[in-house]
Amino acid sequence: MLDEFDHAIRHFVPTLPKEVTTEAEAMLAELSANVEADEFAIKRAFHDMGIKEYPHRKAYKELTDSTAGMQMKAMVVEHVDEDVRAVIKPHLDSGVSLEELVRSDVFESELDGKQRYQVEDGIMVAQSKLADGLKSEVSEHAAEYKALFEKWSAHAQEIDATIANLEKLSAGGDENQSAEIKGKAQRYREGFLVTEPDPDLAEIKKEIEYWTDTFAEEE
């Protein structure tokens, strides 16, 4: 689980404030050094760091999937040499994302190791430039990113509150039901971490409806 936490930290989006990354790294170091740290403490860390990273990740992805994504593609195409450009530009122009490109058969079969490195380095440079602009609020996308971040922050808080409402229902069941509800609430909280499936608000609400109906029928 600590390896997973370390993996998550290394895959935080570049727009995440440095202080959040530093806090996560300190938390990982503390948990790694504490032989008494149990699964509950680690999962709590998953949630506490995940919910801070979640809105930045979702905002960054939504932004780079739209207008900023086109800008990043242009940066990468400019970064690579002519031979590499001839291979990747038609795919990028057709709508393939940078993420899809590096996972594609084309990337592996039509580019050698040094050429693939050019593309990967170009993506890192583009991500860094975009992130610097967003964090310093000097780029054309800064206001858009801020609005998206606020939207996803509110969504994260709504999810967290809904998980808390689900967990409250554990008081109304027997021992097995209570354990099942608490376990599901915990799994949803873990979902805020980048390495886990995102918590789904509609699914959590359905879970609340299910247990509310179940306990009503048992009365």
Length of the chain: 219
Contact call for residues 68 and 141 (beta carbons, < 8 A):
yes
User: Over 70: is that where the pLDDT of 207 sits?
Assistant: yes
For 114-152, give the secondary structure using H, E and C: HHHHHHHHHHHHHHHHHHHHHHHCCCCCHHHHHHHHHHH
Residues 49 and 19 in one domain: yes
pLDDT at 137: 64
Domain boundary among 80, 111, 136: 136
pTM: 0.78
Residues 111 and 203 in one domain: no
Residues 51 and 71 in one domain: no
Domain count, the chain: 2
Which tokens sit at 160?
């967290």
Domain boundary among 136, 161, 177: 136
Domain boundary among 110, 136, 162: 136
Residues 60 and 146 in one domain: yes
Residues 104 and 150 in one domain: no
Residues 118 and 73 in one domain: yes
Domain that holds residue 197: 2-64+142-218
Spell out where 51-126 has E strands: none
Residues 120 and 155 in one domain: no
Residues 54 and 155 in one domain: yes
The string of pLDDT tens digits covering residues 16-58 is: 888 999 999 999 999 999 888 888 888 888 899 999 999 999 9
Q: How far apart are CA 127 and CA 143, in angstroms?
A: 17
Which tokens sit at 61?
């992805």
The string of pLDDT tens digits covering residues 111-138 is: 999 999 999 999 989 888 888 877 776 5
Between 31-40, 137-146, 171-180, the lowest mean confidence (pLDDT) is in 137-146
User: Over 70: is that where the pLDDT of 219 sits?
Assistant: no
User: Over 80: is that where the pLDDT of 210 sits?
Assistant: yes
Residues 151 and 49 in one domain: yes
